[in-house]
């Protein structure tokens, strides 16, 4: 398995198909926004034997901060380290370009189990909770904000 930049339309459609098969995390509005973002923002994909197994889409907030917009791993391949590998690839890419902070917004509904797994993923990978915004204006529901410092010095 290797991680590389998303290049083709077929790869983009494979990413959308992965997300569509995860309705506990991505609703219709989310999928629409994702479709738009995968065309305009930097996206990395995890590929094995020509098959896309996962993706991560990022957005430049400013010259120091990068936001993870979307991330998903094909359902049957979850919990095998693919998300962590895509995250490490993204972090190395970001450090090389001078970014200092990685930000991610995720569901702040602490009673919703699917996103509990997502929060565990980010926390295991060194992200720190910094705010719970309720409601987050763009979403109309609560958002949990995580940050991770990329500087090692």
Ligand X SMILES: CC(C)(COP(=O)(O)OP(=O)(O)OC[C@H]1O[C@@H](n2cnc3c(N)ncnc32)[C@H](O)[C@@H]1OP(=O)(O)O)[C@@H](O)C(=O)NCCC(=O)NCCS
User: Can you tell me which of 57, 106, 146, 150 binds ligand X, judged by CB under 6 A?
Assistant: 106
Would you give the distance in Å from CA 116 to the centre of its chain? 15
Residue 60 pairs with which residues in a beta bridge? Answer: 66
Q: Is 16 in the site for ligand X (CB under 6 A)?
A: no
Cβ atoms within 10 Å of 23's Cβ, excluding its own: 12
What are the helix (H) ranges across 60-112? 82-96
**Bridge pairing between strands 141-149 and 128-136:** antiparallel
Nearer of residues 37 and 65 to ligand X, judged by Cβ: 37
Would you give the distance in Å from CA 40 to the centre of its chain? 15
Site size toward ligand X, by CB under 6 A: 19
Q: Is 44 in the site for ligand X (CB under 6 A)?
A: no
Q: Is 84 in the site for ligand X (CB under 6 A)?
A: yes
Distance CA 41, CA 55 (A): 12
Least distance (Å) from ligand X to the CB of residue 88?
A: 9
Q: Is 108 in the site for ligand X (CB under 6 A)?
A: no
Q: Is 113 in the site for ligand X (CB under 6 A)?
A: no
User: Can you tell me which of 71, 94, 144, 147 binds ligand X, judged by CB under 6 A?
Assistant: 71
Q: Which residues bind ligand X (CB under 6 A)?
A: 22, 25, 70-73, 78-84, 106, 117-118, 120-121, 124
């Amino acid at each position: 398995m290797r991680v590389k930049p998303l290049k083709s339309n077929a790869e983009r459609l494979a990413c959308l198909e992965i997300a569509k098969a995860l309705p506990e995390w991505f609703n219709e509005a989310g999928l629409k926004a994702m479709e738009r973002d995968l065309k305009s923002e930097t996206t990395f994909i995890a590929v094995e034997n020509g098959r896309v197994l996962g993706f991560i889409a990022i957005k430049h907030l400013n010259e120091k901060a990068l936001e993870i917009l979307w991330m998903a791993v094909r359902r049957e391949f979850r919990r095998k380290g693919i998300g962590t590998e895509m995250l490490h690839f993204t972090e190395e890419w970001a450090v090389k370009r001078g970014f200092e902070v990685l930000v991610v917004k995720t569901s702040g509904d602490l009673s919703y189990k699917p996103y509990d797994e997502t929060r565990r993923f980010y926390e295991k990978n060194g992200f720190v909770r910094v705010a719970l915004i309720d409601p987050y204006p763009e979403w109309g529901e609560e958002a949990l904000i995580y940050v991770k410092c990329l500087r090692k010095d």
